[in-house]
Structure 1
Amino acid sequence: MRRRMRRTAALLALAALILGLSGCGSVQETPTIRVGVALYLQEDTFLSTVVQDLEQQARVREEALGVKLNFNIADARSSQASQNEQVDRFLQQDYDVICVNLVDRTAAAVIVDKAQAAGVPIVFFNRQPVEEDLDRWDQAYYVGSKADRAGILQGQIVLEAWKKEPAALDRNGDGILQYVMLEGEPGHQDALLRTEYCVKTLVDAGVAVEKLDSNNADWVRGQATLRMQQWLETFGDEIEVVFANNDDMALGAIDACLAAGMTEAELPFIVGVDATPPALEAVADGTLKGTVQNDAAGQAESILDLCCALASGQSAASAVELEDGKYVWLEYTAVTQENLEDFLPEE
């Protein structure tokens, strides 16, 4: 309720500003808010979902406010140098707000300093900057979810299945869960925390685990398929659980298993993160045992709330609930076949 009241107040303030800009009498052009959005990799399935949600919600917001929301989406294709150039162009073209999904989370300081010098508010999302970098300016914010929580929920999905029917997971009957780990980028905070906490959750609950192997697949489905093919050749049916730091890699593991001739019943217990549409389909058909919803629609909504407030000269706190004056945190939610219906789009 508090969040809705903040958003309503910010929208009323923006509407009042728009009326003031439009003036009275003669017909004026529709006011436009220009937002530059710099993505680390647009083909990333989760990011593409965030962008789709952002654009869809913007159309609704436009109609309500009588304003044009112009989002310019730029794809850095995993190059921080390219992303820096994209941000430079947004600043040179006097965009009202800039939103950045960082290629390298340690590179935020340069971007923050450039935005501050130009007086343009900046919203980072989904890839959390180093705290000290975000603190360099009071008009820099972050929208995302806490990565350790995703790992915990992944571990809980496996734990609940273990408690319910241990033999279904412990196929060799040794009382130990043998697992492999598909990780995101080396050194990436989300990859590190998801990797750590999914296993820690099982260990803290008294489940014996054994890591057969782990490797980075850079969040990419095709790379994960290759990793899983190698592991199947090395370990075969010793692999009982596959942890993947995101859904694309989880789906890549499934691709490798199916290509190897496994039936659904023979697949390891595979879990991912994001609850992307393809992953939800895999949960429905039973090949993916669970995922963790990374709230794409919620992130898009919070980004849009911030953009509207900041562009109208209102405080960020008037539109969103901030933690430490900087952070908008969205909750993760575990998704399995038991609650899948709650996450499927309405027909």
Structure 2
Amino acid sequence: MLFKKIAIFFFVIVIIAKLSINYDNNVYASNDKIVNVDVLLYTFDDPFMSSLKQSLENIQKENPTKIHFTFHDGKNNIALQNEELDSIVNRGSVDLVMANLADISENAVNGAFGIVKPKEIPIVFLDVPQDVVSKVSKNYKKAAFILANSDLAGTVQGNILVNLWNSNKKAIDKNNDNILQYVLLQGEIDNPVAIDRTNYVISTINNSGISTQQLALINANWFKELARDSIESLFLRYNDRIEAIISNNDAMAIGAIEALQKYGFNTGDESKNIAVVGIDAIPEARDLIDKGFMTGTVIQDPKVLAEVFYNVGMNLVNNLNPIENTNYKIINGEIIVPFPYEEYVKK
């Protein structure tokens, strides 16, 4: 009788242990589910967006059992992006959307909400203006907004020209009038990143005691080709009056250099060189700087942005605070990307 009771006791223990193991395995399986993420980029033609795409792909390679990215080229067309987003949601296999929209207006953001909200799909936006965020952020709890510190990017860019002015003024102040005459290549006309970069680069130069004169401001929408065509035309108009070309990103700066080189400038002859500065530090820009064809750029590491996208997105998927277990800061409803902005100039 005692032996029978002991046998039953051990049988119960074995059953409980098996149930416990199965439970643990099921919990692990649920936590180990691959998160399917659809990434809407406003265009694949932007070199920085291409670098961001590659950085996200590297995160996937490092976490093959956690996340899978599918990328969509918006071709700078919000209507196309809305069609793609609608198709993604109706497909029913998406767990998270990351959106870099071609249109960052209030209507566009609410339009995206209207597509993902019925299915309660979390969404992370990039570079939506703060005034828009203040109006739409309460409309959907499973949304987060990421924004770069464009003030600092513009400041570092301005310091590149300030340092050049102070160390080799003759190389930049070609007419010796103590005024920096410049052309500014700006991104989209209403883009908050473009506006902040523009304002802070000029204020940094002025605050250093250098007077400036804007010869022209061109909205080249971040694209190399538009910048190249614009500078080709402006060079014929202003010719030797242009002392610097300040670009909101490297793509437009590269376009400017291609235009200048058409006229024999920025090919290595210091007597025929116009200072050109950009932002992003993409490989092509670094190469031009190393060769002495471009003055400088600001390092904005796409890996940092990819990590923010990943960490914030995974928090939303797991119903956590968007900045849970991170050192990110939220300012006016937006998660600020902690880029360690640094200048890149020829050594």
Q: Smaller-chain TM-score range? A: 0.7 to 0.9
* Distance of aligned partners of 1:326 and 1:183 in 2 relative to their CA distance in 1, 3 Å threshold: closer
Q: Conserved in 1, the CA contact under 8 Å of 2:185 and 2:227?
A: yes
Aligned residues: 314
Q: Conserved in 1, the CA contact under 8 Å of 2:308 and 2:337?
A: no
Deviates more, 1:296-305 or 1:183-192: 183-192
Q: C-alpha distance in 2, partners of 1:88/1:18? A: 35
Aligned counterpart, 1:3: none
- By how many angstroms is 1:240 displaced? 0.5
Aligned counterpart, 2:179: 176
Alpha-carbon displacement from aligned partner over 1:71-130 (angstroms, at most 9, x marks no partner)? 111111111111112222222223111000011111212213432332111111245562
Residue identity over aligned pairs, in percent, reads 28
Q: C-alpha distance in 2, partners of 1:59/1:72? A: 13
Aligned counterpart, 2:149: 146
* Residue 213, structure 1, aligned to residue 212, structure 2: no
- By how many angstroms is 1:68 displaced? 4.9
- By how many angstroms is 1:137 displaced? 2.4
Alpha-carbon displacement from aligned partner over 1:275-308 (angstroms, at most 9, x marks no partner)? 1111111121121211112221001011112233
Aligned counterpart, 1:77: 75
Aligned counterpart, 1:261: 264
Q: Conserved in 2, the CA contact under 8 Å of 1:292 and 1:334?
A: yes
* Residue 97, structure 1, aligned to residue 96, structure 2: yes
Which of 271, 286, 297 is 2:277 aligned to? Answer: 271
- By how many angstroms is 1:138 displaced? 2.7
Q: C-alpha distance in 2, partners of 1:17/1:252? A: 57
Which of 50, 58, 61 is 1:56 aligned to? Answer: 58
Q: C-alpha distance in 1, partners of 2:202/2:295? A: 16
Which of 281, 286, 304 is 1:280 aligned to? Answer: 286
* Distance of aligned partners of 1:17 and 1:306 in 2 relative to their CA distance in 1, 3 Å threshold: farther
Q: How does 1:122-201 map to 2 (within 5 A)?
A: 122-128=123-129, 130-131=132-133, 132-201=135-204
* Distance of aligned partners of 1:269 and 1:47 in 2 relative to their CA distance in 1, 3 Å threshold: same
Q: C-alpha distance in 1, partners of 2:126/2:235? A: 36
Q: Conserved in 2, the CA contact under 8 Å of 1:292 and 1:332?
A: no
* Distance of aligned partners of 1:157 and 1:142 in 2 relative to their CA distance in 1, 3 Å threshold: same
Secondary structure of the 2:316 match is helix
**RMSD of aligned alpha carbons:** 2.2
Q: C-alpha distance in 2, partners of 1:147/1:75? A: 24
Query: Which amino acid in structure 1 is aligned with residue 48 of structure 2?
Result: F
Q: C-alpha distance in 2, partners of 1:193/1:328? A: 14
- By how many angstroms is 1:322 displaced? 3.9
- Give the unaligned 5+ runs of structure 1: 1-15, 24-29, 341-347
Q: C-alpha distance in 1, partners of 2:291/2:137? A: 42
Q: Conserved in 1, the CA contact under 8 Å of 2:127 and 2:193?
A: no
- By how many angstroms is 1:167 displaced? 1.5
Aligned counterpart, 2:342: 334
- By how many angstroms is 1:31 displaced? 3.2
Secondary structure of the 1:157 match is helix
- By how many angstroms is 1:207 displaced? 0.8
* Larger Rg belongs to: 2
Q: Conserved in 2, the CA contact under 8 Å of 1:128 and 1:142?
A: no
Alpha-carbon displacement from aligned partner over 1:181-224 (angstroms, at most 9, x marks no partner)? 11112222222221222111111222111111121111111111
Query: Which amino acid in structure 1 is aligned with residue 104 of structure 2?
Result: R
Aligned counterpart, 1:22: 29
* Distance of aligned partners of 1:53 and 1:17 in 2 relative to their CA distance in 1, 3 Å threshold: farther
Q: Conserved in 1, the CA contact under 8 Å of 2:127 and 2:192?
A: no
Aligned counterpart, 1:323: 330
Query: Which amino acid in structure 2 is aligned with residue 22 of structure 1?
Result: A
Secondary structure of the 1:90 match is helix
- Give the unaligned 5+ runs of structure 2: 1-22
Aligned counterpart, 1:27: none
Q: Conserved in 1, the CA contact under 8 Å of 2:129 and 2:191?
A: no
Q: Conserved in 2, the CA contact under 8 Å of 1:274 and 1:291?
A: yes
Q: C-alpha distance in 1, partners of 2:323/2:42? A: 27
Q: C-alpha distance in 1, partners of 2:90/2:338? A: 32
Q: How does 1:31-70 map to 2 (within 5 A)?
A: 31-62=33-64, 67-70=65-68
Alpha-carbon displacement from aligned partner over 1:295-337 (angstroms, at most 9, x marks no partner)? 2100101111223333334432324324156414222513233
Secondary structure of the 1:317 match is coil
